[in-house]
Structure 1
Amino acid sequence: MDEDRGGWRRCVLSGAVFAVCMAGTTLPTPLYGLYQQKFGFSELTVTVVYAVYAFGVIGVLLLAGNASDTVGRRPVLLAGLAFAAASAVCFLCATGLGWLYVGRLLSGLSAGLFTGAASAYVMESAPYRGASRATFVATAANMGGLGCGPLLAGVLAQYAPWPLHLPFAVHLVLVAVSAAVLLRLPETVRERRPLSAVRPQRPGLPAGVRAVFVPAAIASFVGFALFGVFTSVSPAFLAQSLNVTDHAVSGLVVALAFFASVGGQLAVDRVGAGRSLPLGCAGLLAGLALLAGALWWDLLALVVLSALVGGAGQGLAFRGALSAVAGASPADRRAAVISTLFVVAYTGISVPVIGVGVLADPIGLEGAGLVFIACMAVLVSGAALYLLRRPVPAKA
Structure 2
Amino acid sequence: MDGDHRGWRECSLSGAVFAVCMAGTTLPTPLYPLYQEKFGFSELTVTVVYAVYAFGVIGVLLLVGNASDAVGRRVVLMWGLGCAAASAVCFLCATGLGWLYAGRLLSGLSAGLFTGAATAYVMELAPPGGASRATFVATAANMGGLGCGPLLAGVLAQYAAWPLYLPFAVHLALVAGCAAVLLRLPETVRERLPLSTVRPQRPALPASVRAVFGPAAIASFVGFALFGVFTSVSPAFLAESLDVDNHAVSGLVVALAFFASTAGQLAVGPVGVRRSLPLGCAGLLAGLALLAGALHWDLMSPVVLSALVGGCGQGLAFRGALAAVAEASPADRRAAVISTLFVVAYGGISVPVIGVGLLTGPIGLENAGLVFIACMTVLVSGAAAYLLRRPVPVRT
TM-score range, shorter chain: over 0.9
**Whole-Å Cα distance in 1 between the matches of residues 137 and 6 of structure 2?**
15
Which residue in the other structure is 1:261 paired with?
261
Following superposition of structure 1 onto structure 2, how do residues 197-276 of structure 1 map, counting pairs within 5 Å?
197-276=197-276
Q: Which 4+ runs in 1 deviate beyond 4 A?
A: none
What is the TM-score when the length of structure 2 is the normalising length? 1.00
What secondary structure does 1:59 align onto? helix
Q: Which residue of 2 aligns with 1:71?
A: 71
In 2, the alpha carbon distance for the partners of 1:294 and 1:334 equals 40
Q: Provide the C-alpha distance between the structure 2 equivalents of 1:266 and 1:393, rounded to a whole number of angstroms.
A: 20
Partner of 1:149: 149
Alpha-carbon distance in 2 for matches of 1:336, 1:203: 6
- Tell me the alpha carbon deviations over residues 234-256 of structure 1, each in whole angstroms, 9 at most, x when there is no partner: 00000000000000000000000
- Amino acid paired to 2:45: T
Contact 1:54 1:346 in 2 (8 A): yes
Are 1:377 and 2:395 matched, yes or no?
no
Determine the C-alpha separation between the residues in 1 that align with 2:296 and 2:37.
26
Cα distance between partner residues in 2 of 1:14 and 1:359: 42
Which whole-Å CA distance do the structure 2 matches of 1:240 and 1:360 have between them? 13
Letter in 1 for 2:318: F
What's the secondary structure of 1:233's corresponding residue? helix
How do 1:108-119 and structure 2 match up within 5 A?
A: 108-119=108-119
1:212-262 Cα offsets, whole Å, 9 max, x none, are 000000000000000000000000000000000000000000000000000
TM normalised by structure 1 equals: 1.00
- Distance across 2 between alignment mates of 1:9 and 1:333: 33
Aligned to 1:93: 93
**Residue equivalent to 2:15:** 15
Give the drift of 1:393. 1.1
Offset from partner CA, 1:143-191 (integer Å, 9 cap, x none):
0000000000000000000000000000000000000000000000000
CA distance in structure 2 between the aligned counterparts of 1:23 and 1:117, rounded to whole angstroms: 16
User: One-letter code of the match for 1:8?
Assistant: W
> 1:208 deviation in Å?
2.0
The 3-state SS of whatever aligns with 2:364 is helix
Q: Distance in 1 between the 2:334 and 2:90 partners?
A: 37
Distance across 1 between alignment mates of 2:324 and 2:177: 37
Q: Which amino acid aligns with 1:237?
A: F
Q: Percent identity?
A: 86
Query: 1:207 offset after TM fit, Å?
Result: 1.7
In 1, distance between residues paired with 2:163 and 2:280? 36
Q: Aligned-pair RMSD on alpha carbons?
A: 0.6
**Alignment match, 1:188:** 188
Match of 1:220, SS? helix
1:19 Cα deviation (Å)?
0.1
Q: Which residue is 2:334 aligned to? A: 334
Q: What's the counterpart of residue 305 of structure 1? A: 305
- For 2:349 and 2:11, locate their aligned partners in 1 and report how far apart those are by CA, in whole Å: 29
User: Unpaired runs of 5+ in structure 1?
Assistant: none
Q: Distance in 2 between matches of 1:265 and 1:393?
A: 19
Partners of 1:81 and 1:175 in 2: how far apart? 6
* 1:39-82 per-position Cα deviation (integer Å, ceiling 9, x unaligned): 00000000000000000000000000000000000000000000
Contact 1:274–1:395 (Cα < 8 Å) also in 2 = no
Q: Name stretches of at least 5 consecutive residues in structure 2 with no aligned partner.
A: none
Name the residue aligned to 1:363: 363
Q: 2: distance between equivalents of 1:150 and 1:307?
A: 14
| Per-residue deviation, residues 244-301 of structure 1 (Å, max 9, x unmatched) | 0000000000000000000000000000011100000000000000000000111100
- TM-superposed CA distance for 1:206, in Å, is 1.0
May I ask how many residue pairs the two structures share in their alignment? 396
- 2:281 corresponds in structure 1 to 281
Q: Partners in 1 of 2:225 and 2:205 — Cα distance? A: 22
Report if aligned partners of 1:51, 1:353 keep a CA contact under 8 Å in 2. Answer: yes
In structure 2, C-alpha distance between the alignment counterparts of 1:313 and 1:278, rounded to whole Å: 9
Structure 1 residue 395, shift from structure 2 partner = 2.7
Q: 1:42 is matched with which residue? A: 42
Q: Which amino acid aligns with 1:181?
A: V
Q: Determine the C-alpha separation between the residues in 2 that align with 1:2 and 1:336.
A: 37
